[in-house]
Amino acid sequence: MNVLIAEHAGFCFGVEKAIEKAYEEIDTNVINGPVYSLGPIIHNHQVVEQLERRGLRTINEISDAENGTVIIRSHGVPEITYKEIENRGLRLVDTTCPFVKKIQRIVSEHHAKGHRIVIIGNRTHPEVIGINGWCNNEGLVISETHEVEKIPHDETLCIVAQTTMLIGLFQSIKNELANRIQTIHWYNTICLATQDRQQTARDLAGKVGVMVVIGGKHSSNTKKLAEVCKGYLPNETYLIEKYTDLPLGLFSEEESVGVTAGASTPKKAIENTVELLRAISTGDKWQIAIDGPAGAGKSTIARHLAERLHFVYIDTGAMYRALTWYIIENKCEMDNIDQIVTLAHSVRIDLKQDRVYLDGKDVSDEIRSLQVTEHVSTVASIKDVRKAMVKLQQKIATKNHVVMDGRDIGTVVLQEATLKVFLTATVEERARRRFEELKNKTETTYDEIKKQIEERDHADETREHDPLIPANDAVHIDSTRLSIEEVVEKIILLFCDRIKLNSRK
Ligand code: C5P
């Protein structure tokens, strides 16, 4: 895929300085006690976690620091915080961005002259809270053009902007106030880095089919960049924190994509995203195969994966279950193989958005009954039944990007899958999960469920046709002690690596 990167993207000078200083303090400052950051040093989880692993402690109040050094981050702080740091006898490292410092100075001077301060910005953002703390918190904060009504007519005004505001908002507020007769001191304090990022993002969004904006969920300037891009590509702008957040299923038909990043996004995050996007060839079709025993978490994980990646989820177990339910409904004996095979060929099974349909009837709830669970492995062990189901599953996979779970996906159904995972967990854990799921819906006990799982494991693993075995090239994941989110993240990482690897072949 053709990937274009905005001319100005990623770390700005103020953020870079703050990070550098933080590393310097943790790595070299051994005589001054612990090093604290007042609030997360930047709005980027990955960077904050990395620094915290090295020893940086994030605090919310100065009173949380016992002794040692406090770093003031690039967003800056109210005037009073400097006093608090001094009163507590703490060492101060000030990494307030020089552009923010300048706004604090402007505000402080005009406030001293008795002028009314107006801050164009987000009132909950730390930079704005900090600025307002240099005019005794008497500043009027506005974030939308219509709010100019709140600005008094009878005072001299000093108007500044948060450094990361949209330049268009600043201009439209200026236009709204053009006819006021009072004295207004205007300061366009939107920083150059922000203006450059917004301008180059705008240029790029006009040229490509899709825009990817990389940055922290709480990063103001990143969100603003996404807004700029949405002006051109309302439904094709994706805001992500890291490359594993990319909804890859939506990208395989794209010819060109633009990438930009907020001022608190590290270079590595941009490089990883660009590398992955470049590895995609137009028209790629991807398949993730997940096999494993009952209760290992296959369907939950597969569903989450499909949602995150924008793939189609295919629950093949549900297909065997639907057929089993149909067989029971038709009063067919479980040892009447000929009739079962005839029924398998005569019925139509469709999967649509998590629901299962049998000849058009929604049977999603019925197929989870204990009676169906008890007989499904017998039905699934019949060779001609499997043949019919496998054919149907393969047909669905040719048309979509799929996450498919079952028992024979990696070994039989999708032998060429992009990624194969064999998901397991101890039988006790699997029985516990199933029991939790079923206890309010059906009358059953943990022991009963555990026994049923063991029997199903045995039947699935020892059957003659397509038994449950891991494919040779499957990655094994034991989910016993992992959360759903951890397993999903692990699989997406593996999958992205696979796409990159395949593109090098
Ligand atoms: O995944 P679930 O527990 O709903 O599957 C029900 C049963 O369907 C399994 O125990 C297995 O016997 C059968 N099955 C299969 N091959 C698949 C999926 C499920 O044999 N691909």
- CA 393–ligand 1 middle distance (angstroms): 13
Tokens representing residue 266 in the block: 């590290």
The reported pLDDT for the residue numbered 66 is: 87
pLDDT tens string 208-217 = 999 999 999 8
- pTM, two decimals, is 0.86
Ordered by where they begin, the domains of the chain are 12-98 (3.40.50.11270), 100-190 (3.40.1010.20), 194-278 (3.40.1010.20), 287-504 (3.40.50.300)
The reported pLDDT for the residue numbered 335 is: 92
Residue with CA nearest ligand 1 atom 5: 317
- Pocket residues for ligand 1 (CB within 6 Å)? 294, 316-317, 320-321, 376-377, 380, 406-409, 456, 460
- CA 345–ligand 1 middle distance (angstroms): 18
Atom of ligand 1 nearest to the CA of 373: 6
The question of whether 127 is a catalytic residue gets the answer yes
| Nearest residue to 254 via CA among 282, 232, 234 | 282
pLDDT tens string 484-505 = 999 999 999 999 999 999 988 7
d(CA 439, CA 430): 14
Atom of ligand 1 nearest to the CA of 318: 4
The reported pLDDT for the residue numbered 18 is: 92
Query: Which position has the token pair 């669905």?
Result: 396
- The three-class DSSP label of residue 352 is strand
DSSP sequence for 268-327: HHHHHHHHHHHT--TT---EEEEE-STTSSHHHHHHHHHHHHT-EEEEHHHHHHHHHHHH
- CA 489–ligand 1 middle distance (angstroms): 25
The reported pLDDT for the residue numbered 374 is: 92
Whether the predicted pLDDT of 13 surpasses 90: no
Atom of ligand 1 nearest to the CA of 295: 3
- The three-class DSSP label of residue 229 is helix
CA atoms within 13 A on the CB side of 205: 25
- Confidence class of residue 275 from pLDDT cuts 50, 70 and 90? very high
Which position among 25, 127, 236, 366 bears the catalytic label? 127
- CA 408–ligand 1 middle distance (angstroms): 9
Residue with CA nearest ligand 1 atom 6: 317
pLDDT tens string 88-105 = 999 999 999 999 999 999
The reported pLDDT for the residue numbered 504 is: 84
